[in-house]
Structure 1
């Protein structure tokens, strides 16, 4: 039997279809503009900021995506911002995945902004205008955009926390390829910024698969940068592969850009390949110059816990020793009256050592240096861990031997605590003083040790407060006889050697032993013993004042008929040392010789005769003495 549907049931079944039909007819007749008011009201209620859609609103459904198009759109900034609008655009287009929308995972796909003006601001208390919660503090409320296309736009970024203000303008360069040109100016962390470049018009902000081409020519403060290559995942920067050229006045000036407290240097210029993947940055196969020195190598920075870890190897085929000056705090400092200071007095920027850790080896194959300095090569391993800088091993090839040691600078407190232990190994006497002709044929090996501890934020202050010891010694060798005769003022022997030529004599030993307390080096033993004479020294060296106060007294081992016999005084400053003789003693001897010469010319030699010590004042005595603490 056939049953008919009752009228109420029929209405109930047909109602959804009727409503749907009315909606379709409404959209066909009136479009989506009716939805503008609910969208604007909902946005205001959710964010506390006004969204204005002044033009037509269109929706296109292509399951599971819906494409939204609107014209004359603006969105307000929060009340604290300097600019009233965060976004003003002639047109806005984007797609939304309805499946993700159901799961409250909103990602705008293929966003296109036509002639946009975007104003982004950060307040001094950390609030960010692009966060959409009412307090602008919840990082999860920022708009997630997968791909962004800017069609002739401008972007302003004001970050008062980091003293940054950037204005960026983007223009379509080639409509067929979609490439754009951009220009930026302003300041970055207080440094003036200018930049130009080209890129693809579609910015793959969240796409971690497709490389994004980029060319940029920029200058940030004193640092100039040219780069070309690709980026991947602009939002998270998951990949980067670019050829890069850097130049600037000092590597320390890269701190605002890299966050790495590199040392002060002379001007530099470098080129290399910059690669980034996951948490690692690598500056591969770079080459260039720092000052007058060439450098090459690879450096890698990896995020480890709170600090990045810098590792690598750097080589210099020819290093100008003068390029180490700013690294150790030497160079121009605060002007002051008096003699020029020699010890480096500029404060090291140790506060930046807390920004990263490091393990880097440096090798200088050949050192260009002043002729008076017998340094030839350098190898050092530089380690920085929790603001403690360690140079170990430190190895200078010098005068045919080595200066090997360990230097530790602990910057975990306001004043750097420094300690240094340097071994002097087999330095050749003939090469130790390359500017003195009288030592070039000398033979002997200098050995010893320097141990110092001090504190201060410059090398000068570390040495001025230092305690420790300096011990240097030389065993048997050979030395210029003319040099020793000159030290004893043996006039007749000097004349003979000048005429007949110099020759070497036996060097029995040499010893320099200093105790260091609060920056004052006090002699314990100072001795040079040869077959001709023995020179015994005493006095002190003040590292704080950079002054010398040493007295050398020659004692002849053989009879000299004409010897003025005077102590040798070494006084003055490190910058301008003065070597003088006891003129009163010389004048007295000379006057005596003149007076006796008036009686009998032979008697004139009596005050000038040096008979020798008659006993051993050299190595035999020194062998049992000396305090090397």
Structure 2
């Protein structure tokens, strides 16, 4: 019996139903991301809710631990603590909070405050500059300090070497009361304790100014400081920050003004600096730099600090009656170093007096003798006895180039002064020192080596041919009619820590050569020792015409501080001028006898020998007897071994003077090389031989001893 297939049976030709479409990979990834995002938002919302409800107080200990690990410091909160979002800004509140200093610091805490209440932009903690929408700080104490090596500071939170500049956050509104800042830099030997005026701002407005005041010590000098931020509303917004500051130290007033890109950024910012005071030396002494004393000064400059360099440019001002301009760079490295280029249009002679140790105020009021006495020199002495600042000179180095257009002096015209100074670990070199004097040129070198004890000092001064009329115009010599010139050299070496001591022990030679020319005096009383009077007494005529000079040499040999004539020999048309004796750098006594022997017979010539006596400070002229002439210099301890000069008659001149052979004279040769016009050795001049007596003879000579 046949069966029938069910109706729903699948025939071989039947098509299966279509499968559901597969889910795309993108959609699957989106679903996963959406789920994660929803979960993250939910988690953040949950965290936010938990923090908002609990105010985050439970994070106090974790905060101390995490902050301590990140800063490598001990962080503590002694009172209430809150850390949460309110609603989108982070609220941070802490009482009796403190952050420790590293172990090498001299104070235990970098920061401490009774209370901090702040609203912080969250993303600013991760990117860019930290941004505080609001900051309430009560009784904060901040301690900022560098280590001795200057490679670490307390505000750089790193165990590696290297101190970063202080970077303050941007603050929109603030209430700051009772806050103090301490700053210490051992390399600069700077310590400052500052107090901030109370700051209260609302609506992003602080007011007209914020003040900072305090005191401190720079090296060994105490100072006070007062500063004001004139545009604090712009400052908190990191705009233009107009800062003015005044500091007082050691009788000096320093004003600083400038525009800062941020409150804590000084480096690379041009600042206008002005300083005034009674003595510029006291200002530089603050940083351990020694310069000669000055009178009242006023200076202005632009200051830019870059790393260890402090560059003062566009410097201009005055000291005493002199002007000063140029630049100065102070490098505060391993050794303090000064590099400067200065210009002066006119330097007053009184302001130049400190360069050899005189106090310019005393020179101006009482004269050079009183100024020398103030340095410790014996009464009536002229050479200063001020000691070189040995210890200070060995602590810093310096390079100086200084041009002075004119030196204002009553008697000797000096101009075009160029000075090059180099100080290296206590060795001071002035080389070259050049200037124009009465249309002549002077070049000098001086070395003060304080590394040796006592200091080794060398002087080398060279005078190029110089017109005598212009050089001696202030001393009674007429420019008109004087055609003679003079050239010379002073070369001395001594030991001592004062100018007086270095010369009192000096040895060397002093020589001035007079080539052919004419000398005419006006006999005008213009100095203590008037050259016009001197020449008037030396020659028989009344100087109605100039004295004609063939050649001349005024020279001294210096041994152990005593200078003996070697020789004094001037050959004129009518006379031969001879001299013997000397002077002492030790006692500053002068004892020189000079005579003019006529070349022709002259009855009643009136040519008595002339003596120069007294001291450097008070020289005087005396008419000598022939007997005293041969003993010139005895009181100075000079043993003159040359044959005594020919006997002289007080009123009758036999006219047998031997003319000089000018070759050795013009060559500045010593007495041993001098010859008469006939080539014979001269034995009528001092030969420079000296014997220093420990105790001078009691017998008075020329009224000096």
Asked if these proteins are the same fold (TM beyond 0.5), I'd say yes
Q: TM-score, normalised by structure 1?
A: 0.77
Is the 8 Å Cα contact of residues 349 and 407 (structure 2) preserved in structure 1? yes
Unaligned runs of 5+ in 1: 1-12, 587-605
Does the 8 Å contact 1:488/1:566 carry over to 2?
no
Residue 445 of structure 1: how far off its partner (Å):
0.9
Indicate the larger mover: 153-162 or 243-252. Answer: 153-162
Distance, in Å, in 1 between the alignment partners of 2:615 and 2:588 is 6
Q: Structure 1 residues 547 and 443 mapped into 2: Cα distance closer, same or farther (>3 Å)?
A: same
The separation in 1 between residues aligned to 2:42 and 2:537, in whole angstroms, is 126
Worse-superposed segment, 178-187 or 266-275 = 178-187
2:434 is the alignment partner of 1:434: no
Equivalent of residue 360 in structure 1, options 376, 387, 400: 400
Kindly state the Cα deviation for residue 401 of structure 1 after the two structures are TM-superposed.
Answer: 0.7
- State the match for 1:396 in structure 2: 435
Residue-pair matches, total: 585
Match of 2:351 among 316, 319, 323: 323
Larger mean CA deviation between 533-542 and 564-573 belongs to: 564-573
- Alignment partner of 1:198 is 2:238: no
Give yes or no for contact 1:81–1:123 (8 Å, CA) kept in 2.
Answer: no
- Aligned equivalent of 1:593: none
Q: Give 1:424 deviation, angstroms.
A: 0.6
Separation of aligned partners in 2, 1:413 and 1:337: 23
- Does residue 421 (structure 1) correspond to residue 460 (structure 2)? The answer is yes
Match of 2:19 in 1: none
1:288 aligned partner: 317
- Answer yes or no: is the 8 Å Cα contact 1:329–1:344 preserved in 2: yes
Contact 1:477 1:507 in 2 (8 A): yes
Q: Deviations over 1:234-259 (max 9, x none)?
A: 65743121222111233332336556
Q: Distance in 2 between matches of 1:379 and 1:142?
A: 41
Which stretches in structure 2 are left out of the alignment for 5+ residues?
A: 1-35, 360-370, 524-530, 629-648, 674-705
Q: Distance in 1 between matches of 2:467 and 2:484?
A: 6
C-alpha displacement at 1:459, in angstroms? Answer: 2.4
| 1:455 and 2:495 are equivalent in the alignment | yes
2:280 is aligned, of 246, 251, 275, to 251
Instruction: Report what 2:326 is aligned to.
Output: 297
C-alpha distance in 2 between matches for 1:256 and 1:244:
18
> Which deviates the most, 225-234 or 120-129?
120-129
- Aligned counterparts of 1:376 and 1:398: Cα–Cα separation in 2: 7
Report the Cα distance in structure 1 between the residues aligned to 2:306 and 2:533, rounded to whole angstroms.
Answer: 70
Structure with greater strand share of residues: 1
Contact residue 56 and residue 70 of structure 1 kept, 8 A: yes
Q: Which SS does the other structure have where 1:26 is aligned?
A: helix
| 1:29 aligned partner | 53
Question: In the alignment, which residue of structure 1 is the partner of 2:545?
Answer: 503
Instruction: Measure how far apart 1:322 and its partner are.
Output: 1.4
- How large is the Cα RMSD of the aligned pairs? 4.6
Could you tell me how far apart the structure 2 residues matched to 1:258 and 1:417 are? Answer: 27
Structure 1 range deviating more: 237-246 or 111-120: 111-120
Matches within 5 A, 1:212-291: 212-232=241-261, 237-255=266-284, 258=287, 260-277=289-306, 280-291=309-320
Distance change >3 Å, CA 624–CA 613, structure 1 → 2: farther
TM-score normalised to the size of structure 2? Answer: 0.69
Seen in structure 2, the aligned counterparts of structure 1 residues 548 and 349 have a Cα distance that, compared at 3 Å, is same
SS of the aligned residue for 1:240 comes to coil
| Aligned counterpart, 2:651 | 608
The 3 A distance-change label for structure 1 pair 565 and 18 is closer
Contact 1:173–1:181 (CA under 8 A) maintained in structure 2: no
1:116 aligns with 2:139: yes
Task: Compute the displacement of 1:555 (Å).
Answer: 1.6
Alignment of 1:613-624 (within 5 A): 613-616=656-659, 619=662, 622=665
Counterparts in 2 of 1:468 and 1:100: CA distance versus 1, 3 Å: farther
Distance 1:544 1:120, change over 3 A: farther
Alignment of 1:93 with 2:118, yes or no, is yes
Cα distance in 1 for partners of 2:565, 2:185 equals 59
